[in-house]
Amino acid sequence: MGKTIDACGLTCPAPVLLVKDVVEKTNEQEIAVLVDNEASLENVTRFLVSRGYSVTDNQEGEVFRIEARCDQNGSGVNAGKAQKTEENREEASSRKILVMVASDCFGSGDDVLGEKLMISYLKTIKEMGSDLWQIIFVNGGVKLTTESSPVLEELQEYEKTGVIIFACGTCLEHFDLTANKKVGGTTNMLDIVTATQLADKVITIS
């Protein structure tokens, strides 16, 4: 038998996290886990099964001994993979970056250049990875959420991957674009204030 993990004295979710850590870091084929309550027994068993292990357990006095063996490549590998994407996102989700786009033009000097820079910025912003939490479009920026936006497809793609996108309702009305918005929700100043307060970092592009 490979590694033995003693999770006695711990309550949920600690035992599962302990086992998860070992499974992901060492890729052990055989693991034994000791727990001292039925809730942990069920949770750890369920976790190991979800990662493709076949599991048996037996009781030794107050302690349950869970023995797990990784099945041959089949379902186990797939089960692991399915959870991987969501998890990568989650593990890296320690920061929340809010990007406020207050114009359809990046910087001042030359508006034609500014528009090009803005397109380039919004296409490149995905490099922030899962830190990118929200993009809020205000003032002239709301034009970038409408059907004529040169980055509409990119924004729609970001939204699909979980980035929250909002356009300022007052601004859409001001430009008479309310009916033309093609991506994201509509927001108001109270929500914008709350979002800027909640974010770990706010980047304003104007």
Partner 1 sequence: MDFFTPIVDDPYDFGRIAAANALSDVYAMGGIPRTAMNIVAYPIKSMGREPLREILAGGAAVLKEADTVLLGGHSVEDEELKYGLSVTGFVHPEKILTNQGLCAGDCLVLTKPLGTGIINTAIKGGLASNKTIRRVTDLMATLNRQAAEIMAGFKVSACTDITGFGLLGHIAEMICGTDKGVTIESDKVPVMVEADEFGSMGFVPVGAHKNREFRKEMVLAPADFNPVLRDILFDPQTSGGLLIGCMEKDASALVQRLHGEGIEEAAVIGFVTESNKNKIQLL
Q: Under the rule (CB under 8 A), what is the footprint of partner 1? A: 11-13, 16-17, 37-39, 42-47, 50, 83, 86-87, 89-91, 93, 96, 130, 133, 162, 164, 194, 197-198
> Please, which residue, 134 or 146, has the CB nearer to partner 1?
134
Burial class (CB in 10 A: 0-12, 13-18, 19+), 171: buried
What is residue 184's three-state secondary structure?
coil
The three-state secondary structure class of 135 is strand
By C-beta, is 29 or 83 nearer to partner 1? 83
Cβ 139 to partner 1, closest distance in Å? 25
Least Cβ distance, residue 69 to partner 1 (angstroms):
17
CB closer to partner 1 out of 98 and 168: 98
Whole-angstrom CA distances from 62 to 38, 72, 190 are 10, 32, 55
Cα three-residue angle 163-201-148, rounded to 5 degrees: 40
In the complex, the smallest distance separating the C-beta of residue 37 from partner 1, rounded to whole angstroms, is 8
Minimum CB–partner distance for residue 43 and partner 1 (Å): 4
What tokens appear for 68 in the block?
């797990």
